[in-house]
Amino acid sequence: MREPVTVIGAGLAGCEAAWQLAQAGIPVVLREMKPRKKTPAHHADLFGELVCSNSLRSDQLENAVGLLKEELRRLGSLILRCADEHRVAAGGALAVDRTAFAQAVTDAVRSHPLITVEEGEVTALPETGQVIVATGPLTADALAGDIARRFPGSTALHFYDAAAPLVTFESIDMDSAWFASRYDKGTADYINCPLTQEEYLTFWRELCAAKEAPVHGFEDRNVFEGCMPVEVMARRGEQTLCYGPLKPRGLRDPKTGREPYAVVQLRRDNAGGSIYNLVGFQTHLTWPEQKRVFSLIPALRQAEFVRYGVMHRNTYLDSPRLLDRYYRVRTEPRIVFAGQITGVEGYVESTASGFVAALELARRLEGKAPIDFPPETALGALALYVSNETVEHFQPMNINFGIMPPLGYRVKGKRNKNAALSQRSLEILAGLEELGTRKKAYL
């Protein structure tokens, strides 16, 4: 009998990882602190709990998260199977009945003959054996402390309370916006999105009334003073934003020659200039509300959000300095991280990292060569982003086409281009011989 692999955390990443290992014939001990102890965001006793929205976002191949889902689906992901079985109508998105979904994940994991569940909080990394740590963004304090001690310095854990949403450059309507810096100082680094008085008032009213994500016990309300959510600022008065993040002073619209009534500024967020953040838009709104309200800004009507704003404690590793492309600790490869703790952001991305981490570990234990998912695949792009040593100020990231290599030829229209990127990925996946029987017939 083989030595079991210890998987810590029965969230999306941990369940996917445990299942993939077990399906490969490797025994697993899955250690989960529920139901004895729960993070402030978890409420159910079930595994695979969706802590907020019940949507796994777009299910369209023109969208990068749609591609990531399709890759996982075709490679036999447990989480995708359960999500597909329990989907609820949600247009082009994959939304699920959250309880039925979590019950299905729990049943599959608990009934697998090679998975043993051990309840109770893990307070330190096991000293021996193969381990996958998938304890999520709210990893319990004792274990978080142990990880920080074991991998000190540049590989310590990060904590942050606020982040503004990110959008792709190509989804910004540059017929409406323009590049400039305030008072034309320095280089024209900002994208300026103008609003007329009428547009501003509509935006302001919707922002004031928009739905906030539930406040959990772990959030420090004092942070709001130092880093105030844009909706909290808006509620202080009709004009408050015009003296804050939407200040138009020194920003003359080249189309009119005048300063607009209000201006939202976007700042480049990556070296390549493919992603921009909404300056001063740290927010606590739910993700659907962010999309609805921020899309009222004329230049952002079609904006593609690659990460929504968040305001909560988030524990993630400085993965570019710690992990390799298989999510293994470079200096101690028996320890593997998976899920949101690695800096991937979102339900599907967490699942994907659990899948890749387990697949590679299983292959290693079987004496096989790893599968290097190429950057053209969503699975590969995510793993390579997280382990890219040249990324200096590492920030959690949703999957997006901006972190995949371009097509190398012109395709007219964004949807067509994205569809071609997805097609390319699925063809590459179909050609990966190492995947063998894992590939379904239609790949």
Q: By C-alpha distance, which of 302, 261, 289 is closest to 63?
A: 302
Q: By C-beta, is 177 or 303 nearer to ligand FAD?
A: 303
339: contact with ligand FAD by CB under 6 A: yes
Q: Of these, 44, 88, 100, 121, which contacts ligand FAD (CB under 6 A)?
A: 121
Binding mask 304-323 for ligand FAD (x = CB under 6 A): --------x-----------
Instruction: Give the start-end residues of each E strand in 314-359.
Output: 315-316, 328-329, 332-337
For residues 229 and 115, what is the distance between their CA atoms, to the nearest angstrom?
43
State the CB neighbour count (10 A cutoff) for residue 395. 16
Largest Cα–Cα distance in the chain?
76
**Residue at shortest CB range from ligand FAD:** 11
**Shortest separation between residue 288's beta carbon and ligand FAD, angstroms:** 9
Which one of 50-58, 82-90, 174-182, 418-426 is the stretch in contact with ligand FAD (CB under 6 A)?
Answer: 50-58
Q: By C-beta, is 191 or 311 nearer to ligand FAD?
A: 311
The residues in 229-288 that bind ligand FAD, with binding defined as CB under 6 A, are 287
Which one of 83-91, 262-270, 274-282, 344-352 is the stretch in contact with ligand FAD (CB under 6 A)?
Answer: 344-352
Q: By C-beta, is 33 or 356 nearer to ligand FAD?
A: 33
For residues 234 and 254, what is the distance between their CA atoms, to the nearest angstrom?
28
Which one of 133-141, 188-196, 199-207, 248-256 is the stretch in contact with ligand FAD (CB under 6 A)?
Answer: 133-141
State yes or no: 13 annotated in a binding site: yes
13: contact with ligand FAD by CB under 6 A: yes
Binding mask 14-33 for ligand FAD (x = CB under 6 A): x----------------xxx
* Alpha-carbon distances of 198 from 195, 205, 232, 234, rounded to whole Å: 8, 11, 21, 16
Residue type, position 326, single letter: Y
Q: Are 296 and 185 in contact (CB under 8 A)?
A: no
53: contact with ligand FAD by CB under 6 A: yes
Residues in contact with 209: Cβ distance below 8 Å, sequence separation at least 6, in sequence order: none
User: Tokens 């989960």 identify what position?
Assistant: 32
Q: By C-beta, is 55 or 422 nearer to ligand FAD?
A: 55
- Please tell me what DSSP assigns to residue 178: E
Q: Of these, 66, 136, 245, 260, which contacts ligand FAD (CB under 6 A)?
A: 136
Would you mind telling me the total number of residues written for the chain in this entry?
443
For residues 372 and 290, what is the distance between their CA atoms, to the nearest angstrom?
36
Size of the site for ligand FAD (CB under 6 A): 36
Q: By C-beta, is 54 or 265 nearer to ligand FAD?
A: 54
State the CB neighbour count (10 A cutoff) for residue 419. 18
**Shortest separation between residue 150's beta carbon and ligand FAD, angstroms:** 14
Phi-psi region of 57 (alpha: psi -120 to 50; beta: other; left: phi over 0): left
Q: Are 134 and 7 in contact (CB under 8 A)?
A: yes
State yes or no: 380 annotated in a binding site: no
Q: Are 291 and 283 in contact (CB under 8 A)?
A: no
State yes or no: 309 annotated in a binding site: no
State yes or no: 280 annotated in a binding site: no
Binding residues for ligand FAD (CB under 6 A):
8-14, 31-34, 39, 41-42, 51-53, 121-122, 134-140, 143, 216, 287, 312, 339-341, 346-347, 350
Q: Which residues are annotated as a binding site for FAD?
A: 9-14
